[in-house]
A and B are shown apart, each in its own frame.
Chain A
Amino acid sequence: MTDTPTPVTRPRSRLSLAWDSDVAHSFRRSPVAMVSAAVTVLLILSAVFAPLIAPHDPFNPATLNLMNGFTPPNAPNMFTGESFLMGTDDQGRDVFSTILYGLRISLFVGFAAVGFAMVLGITLGLIAGYVGGLVETIIMRVADVQLTFPAILVAMLIFGIAKGITPPEYRNDVAIWVLIIAIGLSDWVQFARVVRGATLVEKSKEYVAAARLIGRSPAAIMLRHILPNVLSPVLVIATISLALAIIAEATLSFLGVGAPPTEPSLGTLIRIGQGYLFSGEWWILFFPACTLLALALAVNLLGDWLRDALNPRLR
């Protein structure tokens, strides 16, 4: 090694290079990516601006009329004469408004859970991979324990504890955070394992050895040198995880530990709707399911494209 001021063999990480030029270029060339991005942005925007777009406020029970229940889409209710674009559910809630509000909750839970899992997973993965030894053993065995507990159980455990320590009037607000932590906790292991694996490989490369030789602190090496190089698999996992987290929330709802029914998420709406699959009230399931499908599909396709785009060797 020489004493030149550029210490590492690669002056800039692959990610930041790609971000400047190639990714944007590749995006413009990929119709799938553009459509997916448009759908994702549209869904996020309609969730954010739900109170402005939605014709009703489904979270305010005082405004509901039970007699509006089970109104088919775009047809007048036989008792009240009211009409709803996507019909109403069992409580007489406008399905369209409920989807917009539910989307809000689902996206919030999804982003927050993945963010939580990502931060936790990357940190522990980097440390495990870089430091090695006893620390690695402990982290990876904790990961084993974590994997052993299905998300459902983790959710129930956290639910139980949260219920024990929160005053009753806050319990419904706490439910969302419990979901976020439960889903995040069941997801971080993936990040940790991938990051650890990649770190093990990167650690043995020359540029890390070089950085270490010139006396960079381990934290700096992990963050500045190794992290950017393991980010592309992390980003890909994160996009898939986002879709997955939203679906996991639906699954938990099926097992009775999801968002409260008075403020339903998309997943809770699907859980409610599946009860009406045989009875002919298809719209209660169909529209929320389509929304979830569109969201998950768009995010996944975006993830696919991102993975290819971030990997310069594939171009």
Chain B
Amino acid sequence: MLSYIFRRILQSVLVLLVVGLVAFAMFRFVGDPVETMLGQERTVEDIERLRENLGLNDPFFVQYWNFLVRAVQGDLGISYRQGRPVAEIIAERLPATLELAAVSGLFALVFGIVFGVFTAIRRDGWAANAIMTLSLIGVSLPTFLIGILLIYVFAVELSWLPSFGRGEVVQLGGWSTGFLTQSGLIALILPSITLGLYQMTLIMRLVRSEMLEVLRQDYIRFARARGLSQKAINFRHALKNTLVPVITVTGLQLGSIIAFAIITETVFQWPGVGLLFINAIQFVDIPVMAAYLMLISVMFVGINLIVDLLYVAIDPRLRS
């Protein structure tokens, strides 16, 4: 087991290096940062000087190597757009994204499992069918449209919820949290629903189909024959056995929640790393793009590692 973990960590580092390489190869296609950094009265010399100063005339693998050397020392460079250390900016913005992702993930998991179990048990009931259909409508429209429609209904027409931002945040050490104020919690509602809706539907459908499958199997019939109550069967046996795929999918979806946060954060002006990344693309802020991609990679690789380990731990058949 230990050597397995060690091997996986080594592989993960390799993955990170490849991600960085691909990212750096890509940056030259996003645009020219120098064009966006200088005002309209720039001269050709200004452009050349800045390009030289930023090291943009170096071949991209040299740029990549320099980035890696500095990144290992904890220096992610200076943002072209803000002129501040990237590490500082990311640290400022990360709590917003993580809190949003956590709430969305929780929303997706809780409602996904509850609705999934419900629709599996009441397979042909009208309520189950209604939930199935409604959840499908939710994922049949693009995220940005759902976000804008939610803003239109709940912020503009009803004035119940804020249309943008995080509300009031409290600083806890280096972490800014929206969990401790009323406005912060309220501000989480619309973005979390927008972001978590797709994952909720996915988990719900997965739980439902796994439950249906498991409920048909022999040991459940056996349990029923032993006189266990239907409730006990549903939750103690059936639900428990659906958890392996649910864990896998949820783990994988956590990553895509963070990736999709880009859209949600843009629509709701949520000050997280996704919005930062979109701004960075528009401005060709290469240090920020690189740092964001590496950060996301670390998260993804980490999540993958944990999911794989859990998978092995839960399903002994895969241990060989």
B residues in contact with A267, CB < 8 Å: 142
Does B137 lie at the interface of the complex (its beta carbon under 8 Å from any beta carbon of A)? Answer: yes
B252 near A147: Cβ-Cβ < 8 Å: yes
Bound-complex Cα distance A294 to B281 (A): 34
Whether A263 sits at the interface, judged by CB under 8 Å, is: no
**Given the complex of chains A and B, what is the CA–CA distance between A274 and B149 in angstroms?**
9
In the bound complex, how far is the Cα of B304 from the Cα of A159, in angstroms? 28
B275 within 8 Å of A by Cβ?
no
* Whole-angstrom CA separation of A159 from B148 in the bound complex: 27
Report chain B residues within 8 Å CB of A79: none
Contact A148 B142 (CB under 8 A): no
CA–CA, A156 to B262, complex, Å? Answer: 14
Known: A150-B259, A160-B26, A204-B317. Contact between A251 and B14, CB under 8 A?
Answer: no
CA gap between A157 and B24 in the complex, in Å:
11
Known: A148-B297, A301-B136. A159 touches B29 (CB 8 A): yes
* Inter-subunit contact B11/A314 (CB<8 Å): no
Q: Assess whether A270 is in contact with B296, with CB atoms less than 8 Å apart.
A: no
**Interface readout for B193-204 with A: 1 if CB under 8 Å, 0 if not?**
000000000000
Residue B80, interface by CB 8 Å: no
- Which of B30, B263, B317 touches A201 (beta carbons < 8 Å)? B317
Among B136, B142, B213, point to the contact of A314 (Cβ < 8 A): B213
B213 and A293 contacting across the interface, CB-CB below 8 Å: no
Residue pair B136, A145 in contact (C-beta under 8 Å): no
Is the Cβ of B213 less than 8 Å from the Cβ of A311? yes
Please give, as numbers and ranges, the residues of chain B lying within 8 Å of A296 by CB-CB distance.
Answer: 136, 139-141
Q: Is B2 an interface residue (CB 8 A)?
A: no
Give the docked Cα–Cα distance between A160 and B14 (Å).
25
> CB of A141 within 8 A of chain B?
yes
**Inside 8 A of B318's CB, which chain A residues have their CB?**
200
What separation, in Å, do the CA atoms of A255 and B216 have in the docked complex?
45
B109 / chain A contacts, CB cutoff of 8 Å = none
1/0 contact trace for A141-171 toward B, CB 8 Å?
1001101111111001101110110000000
B212 proximity list for chain A (CB < 8 A):
314
CA distance A197 to B301 in the complex (A): 18
Quick one: which of B152, B209, B252, B278 contacts A277, CB cutoff 8 A?
B152
30 A-B pairs whose Cβ atoms sit less than 8 Å apart in the complex: A144-B300, A144-B301, A145-B15, A147-B252, A148-B19, A148-B293, A148-B297, A148-B300, A149-B22, A150-B296, A152-B262, A153-B26, A156-B29, A156-B281, A157-B26, A160-B26, A160-B30, A193-B248, A250-B144, A251-B143, A254-B142, A254-B144, A292-B141, A292-B142, A293-B140, A297-B133, A300-B136, A300-B140, A301-B133, A313-B216
Interface residues of A (CB under 8 A from B): 137, 141, 144-145, 147-153, 156-157, 159-161, 163-164, 193, 197, 200-201, 204, 243-244, 247, 250-251, 254-255, 267, 270-271, 274, 277-278, 289, 292-293, 295-297, 300-301, 304, 307, 311, 313-314
